[in-house]
Structure 1
Amino acid sequence: MSEFRTPNWVKHAVFYQIFPDRFANGDRTNDPANVHPWGAPPTPYNFMGGDLQGILQKLDYLQELGITAIYLNPIFQATSNHRYNTYDYFRIDPKLGTMEDFQNLVQEMHRRGMRLILDGVFNHCGRGFYAFHDVVENGAHSPYVGWFHIKKFPIFPYDGRKKANYESWWGIRSLPKFNTDNPQVRQFLLSVARYWIEQGADGWRLDVPNEIDDDTFWREFRQVVKSANPDAYIVGEIWKDARRWLQGDQFDAVMNYPLRDLCVEFFAKGTMDASTFATKLSRLFRRYPSEATCALLNLLGSHDTARWLTVCSNDTRRAMLGYTLLFTLPGAPCIYYGDEIGMTDEADPHCRACFEWDKRKWNRRLHQHIRDLIALRQSSTAWRTGAFEVLTAENSVFAYARWDATDAFVVLLNNSQRRWEGVVPLRKRSLPPVAALKDVQNGETAIPRGRVVRMSISPYSYRVLQARAD
């Protein structure tokens, strides 16, 4: 196996995840007949009219925020608002726009130096996918029987009173599972992967890739995608330990849900102390090869979770602490659309509400905090590709260092209602000899004594200090 390399641009990126039907409606002529008013309560079935043209029209907003890459939930033709039940893998869903709209979005993003990641559903399809539809129509005589896991005939894709008689994702009969052992199926799916990279997409987010329990498929997938664009990003939706897929021959990285789990316990719920949090966080970042670690897609929310501010019981201070960590860790931070303005609600379908474009309803404090954090992250390579080490962790106070050959920083987080004052050790491995630590927010200076520095921090707040060498 060749040396493991992940795309360099990912390590310096700030991602923004968009659920296309709910971000912005830029072309009302492609709205479905049953479209709901913008801002109507989301349900598993309703459409709000968001589209690719709407995303294109809001690139200024995203770029001003500091976003450099967009990850889109599925955009290919399907009948649902989430589009994980793909009907046509080679066609943009008409409710989202046209191929021309896609090309215009890609071209404009690339002109701005931004990247676009598509959501690939390769484990299963929708009932309207041509091959499955042929099986429905022709039964055992269909040439596509071997494309799926048919147990016996007849099959019942629409009659919930009867056994479906074929395998599907989580037993949901509207999502028939592909037989990826079939060479024709592999050829088809890999042609999809190549096609959209050739059309300008900068990578794939892979939906439930663990459901394809065959590493040879993903090895072939990597070869096909990287041959089309060696700089393409391959990131898998793996919720737990992903070492199996991060050995350099399958994915570049995964969605870092274990990080979110830790943040929920420490910041949002306060059910984990700083010492346990620090131990588990350090273990998490030692788990994978360094190339994968710096390319992890770090997140606090997605289309599959409750919104971060909601998880934090609508406490902006706790939410801000979580984002401070997110943007100062190794790995690429990803914001779920609307989280930056303080949108709230529980998990699917409620977390998939329409973006609130009325600025009067924004959480301005949170929005500005995230803008500041993005600017901080982009100010130094130490944040993006530097080393990471925990300095101290006691009760609800957590401090760590980030450094490289150019810069060194100390981050101090207080996730409690009490002011904290104490000593932070400046361990030899992490920082060069330090003459002073300057707070990047207020300019205050802390002078170390030997290899320790005395610091204080207010309740539910954070400090970021830049080291000045002797």
Structure 2
Amino acid sequence: MLREAIFHQAGGAYAYPIAKDTLMIQLRAAKDDLKVVYLIYGDRYCGTDPVDRVIMEKYASDQLFDYYRAKVQIKTRTFRYIFLLDDGKERYWYNEFGFSKCRPLGYHSGYFQYPYIAERDFFEIPDWVQDAVVYSIFPDRFFNGDKTNDPTTVREWGEKPTSQMDLYGGDLAGVLAKLPYLEKLGVNTLYLTPIFKSPTSHKYDTTDYFEIDPHFGDKELFRKLINECHKRGMRVILDAVFNHCGYEFAPFQDVIKNGTKSKYWDWFYIKDYPITTDPVNYETFARNVWRMPKLRHANPEVKEYLLQVGEYWVREFDIDGWRLDVANEIDHAFWREFRTRLRAIKPDLYIIGEVWHHAGAYLLGDQFDAVMNYPFREAVIGFFGERTLSVDAFDERLTINRVTYPKQAVDAAWNLLGSHDTERILTRFKGNKKALKLAVTFQMTYQGVPFIYYGDEIGLEGGNDPDCRRCMPWDEEEQDLNLFNHYRKLIQIRRKYEALRKGEFRTIYKDEATGIYIFERYTENERVLVIINNGLKEEEVKIDLKSLGFDPTKTVQELLRNEIIKTEDGLLNLTVEAVEAAILVQ
């Protein structure tokens, strides 16, 4: 037994509540090393050693490890437990003290303990999030619905952007005007990049956090947009740029004018005075981005100001969530208070952070519901687009991404293919729309929340910023309607089948030689089987559906082509074309 590979801790992604009296417990072991893992558990205040036993499910594997899990329920909500590991040759007991051949007995013998599921420790994501399909809008480039609020320097719609200062006239009236288009596509959640007053096109350099940028509209129009979205069953998420402000932010301008005598001097990280932008003598977003002075969140006044900003837009306009810009450069204490105070106003508010790397410290139920899943994007590009990842490597990347976080955070993550910070997905795929359609099929059937960057659904291209922020073309002659209909069909499929939105994920089969990748999404009452052929030739796939829980007496439907597939006693033979997929249900 490779004991050095075995790992568990009573917290994080390895032990967390999934109900008021139920824990999800995970254990890691070396790949293919163990035959069976028993979890023995009980009430931590029981006078005798625990005797309840469950066999843990091996539910995922990566290149090095297998991952086991089990749900355990104790009405008193107090847990202690130990593992019994069996590799077919020897057995070891495993607890906080390590490994032993004989079972440790007694209260102080080293049991793992989850002392109590406290109500406020339970990681709850809003009920509506798993039903969401998010559509990201960069307002200045989406649609110009009101030319009377255009800036004087507005550029011709459709010209390629060349700088952050290029303004095209897109606005909130444009979003409002295009709600029928968004309804037709099938999305039900809108994420707007910043809409507050700012001199740039991207508006990540906020001048006034309490005012809509006048080139976008006003508060009355914004309220109308929220109301119209809610009437249509759509949610609206705004962008919280709290790591830094804009150069024209009034407190920063006060510092420029008054120096150390300014009451806002300690709102920022000023190195010396007078303020200079070349060289930059104050901390900023990233390095020396003079337009974006970094805010000092340890200052109670700054913290309170930003918390009030967050509260204001929820309380006064009933927004449905905040996306948190550069969330990983703000202290955890701030985000904990942010969640507590805003959830007190709106209990089903969705909070998602921009974190491009490992985000475990933020995903324990006390800060964010989830993060933007950039590792998902890179895995999809590597497998479907660039073909630098084998099917095994692709599955391993996904596994690592899933087992790293509590299930709630995985279910609520934004699975994106592109964003305003990346080159367009079709450009990254070198214009290969067939490969993109296969990637979108995977995105819409995978665990988590699908995220569409405006224009991706009609084949909009573009390199890195600012080219990825081109104007949305509204002439259908400039749109790929075949690609649009592919997105639309998959969204309809996802919204129809609960297993695709809320089900578990399990890899069924993968073949390095052919590029076949098969997985299932399932609930207690529903199963959806997805077959991906990422190979360059058609393949015949044979599956024993009966072994997967399908009823051999019922027909099987393939959803992408609306075909009935014949089986013989539950055995399926299906030909899948190159770079195509099949989605099977009963």
Aligned counterparts of 1:394 and 1:387: Cα–Cα separation in 2: 22
Question: Structure 2 residue aligned with 1:201, among 293, 309, 319?
Answer: 319
**Who is 2:462 aligned against?**
345
In the alignment, does 2:137 pair up with 1:15? no
Match for 2:398: what amino acid?
A: L
| Gap regions ≥5 residues in structure 2 | 1-119
One-letter code of the match for 2:285? W
Q: Give the aligned partner of residue 95 of structure 2.
A: none
Residue-by-residue CA offset, 1:170-200 (whole Å, 9 max, x unaligned)? 1212110000000000000000000011122
Amino acid at match of 1:206: L
How many residues are aligned here? Answer: 460
State yes or no: 1:230 paired with 2:341: no
User: Which string of whole-angstrom CA distances, capped at 9 and with x for unpartnered residues, describes residues 364-398 of structure 1?
Assistant: 21111000000000111111001111111113221
Q: Which amino acid aligns with 1:208?
A: V
> C-alpha distance in 2, partners of 1:92/1:314?
37
Corresponding residue for residue 257 of structure 2: 137
Shift in Å, 1:433: 5.1
The yes-or-no answer on 1:182 pairing with 2:299 is yes
Between stretches 283-292 and 190-199, larger displacement belongs to 283-292
Asked whether the equivalents of residues 391 and 424 of structure 1 are also in contact (C-alpha less than 8 Å), the reply is no
Preserved CA contact (<8 Å) 2:541 2:576: no
Is the Cα contact below 8 Å between 1:446 and 1:455 reproduced in 2? no
Q: Label 1:456 to 1:126 Cα distance change in 2 as closer, same or farther (>3 A).
A: same
Distance across 2 between alignment mates of 1:216 and 1:59: 38
* Contact persistence 2:413–2:448 (CA under 8 A): yes
Percent identical among aligned pairs is: 42
Equivalent position to 1:40, from 147, 151, 159 = 159
Aligned with 1:219 (options 321, 336, 353) = 336
User: 1:208: how far off?
Assistant: 0.6
Name the SS for the 1:322 alignment partner. helix
Residue 71 (structure 1) aligns with: 191
CA distance in 1, matches of 2:378, 2:391: 14
Return the offset for 1:280. 1.8
Distance in 2 between residues matched to 1:301 and 1:449, nearest whole Å: 43
Structure 1 letter corresponding to 2:197: Q
Cα deviation, residue 302, structure 1: 0.5
- Aligned partner of residue 390 in structure 1, secondary structure: strand
Once the 2 structures are TM-superposed, how far is the Cα of residue 34 of structure 1 from its aligned partner? 0.3
Distance 1:427 1:266, change over 3 A: farther
CA distance in 1, matches of 2:394, 2:402: 12
Find the partner of 1:394 among 511, 528, 534: 511
The AA in structure 2 aligned to 1:8 is D
Looking at structure 1, the residues matched to 311 and 516 of structure 2 have their Cα atoms a distance apart, in angstroms, of 47
**Alignment CA distance shift 1:424-1:194 (3 Å):** same
For the 8 Å contact 1:392–1:424, the answer to whether it is kept is no
2:71 aligned residue: none
Question: 1:405 & 1:347 partners in 2: Cα distance?
Answer: 43
Counterpart CA distance in 1 for 2:451 and 2:568 is 35
Q: Tell me if 1:415 matches 2:531.
A: no
1:422 Cα deviation after fit: 3.6
Distance 1:402 1:148, change over 3 A: same
Equivalent residues of 2:141, 2:469 under 8 A apart: yes
1:117 to 223, 232, 237: 237
Q: C-alpha distance in 2, partners of 1:434/1:106?
A: 48
Q: Which residue of 1 aligns with 2:447?
A: 330
Task: Find out whether 1:165 has 2:284 as its counterpart.
Answer: no
State the one-letter code of the partner of 1:201: I
The equivalent of 1:2 in structure 2 is 121
Larger Rg: 2
Counterpart residue type for residue 154 of structure 1? P
Residue 465 of structure 1 deviates from its aligned partner by 0.8
Matched, 1:87 2:218: no
Taking the aligned partners of 1:269 and 1:425, their CA distance within structure 2 comes to: 32
Whole-angstrom distance in 1 between the partners of 2:153 and 2:534: 46
Amino acid at match of 2:526: D
State the 1:456 CA deviation: 2.2
Residue 446 (structure 1) shift:
4.5
Task: Give the CA deviation at 1:311.
Answer: 1.3
C-alpha separation in 2, matches of 1:242 and 1:350: 28
SS of the residue corresponding to residue 431 of structure 2 reads coil
- 1:115 Cα deviation (Å)? 0.5
Distance 1:392 1:140 in 2: 65
Alignment RMSD (CA, Å): 1.5
Letter in 1 for 2:215: K
Residues 123, 408 of structure 2: 8 Å contact kept: yes
The answer to whether 1:244 aligns with 2:364 is no
Moved more, 308-317 or 433-442: 433-442
State the structure with bigger RCO (CA 8 A, min sep 6), 1 or 2: 1
CA gap of 1:71–1:168, structure 2 versus 1, over 3 A, is: same
Task: Name the SS of the counterpart of 1:412 in structure 2.
Answer: strand
Q: Indicate conservation of the 8 Å contact 1:403/1:431, yes or no.
A: no
Q: Which residue does the alignment assign to 1:314? A: 431
Contact preservation (8 Å) 1:77, 1:87: yes
Distance (Å, rounded) in 1 between the aligned partners of 2:382 and 2:358:
18
In the alignment, residue 46 of structure 1 is paired with which amino acid?
Answer: D
Tell me, yes or no, if the aligned pair for 1:416 and 1:459 is still in contact at 8 Å.
yes
Report the residue type matching 2:375 in the other structure. P
TM-fit CA distance, 1:419: 1.1
Structure-2 separation of matches of 1:290 and 1:378: 20
> 1:425 Cα shift?
5.8
Aligned partners of 2:489, 2:463: CA distance in 1, in Å? 27
The answer as to whether partners of 1:197 and 1:225 remain within 8 angstroms in 2 is yes
Equivalent-residue separation in structure 1 for 2:327 and 2:255 (angstroms):
24
The Cα shift of 1:426 comes to 5.2
Residue 574 of structure 2 is matched in structure 1 by 455
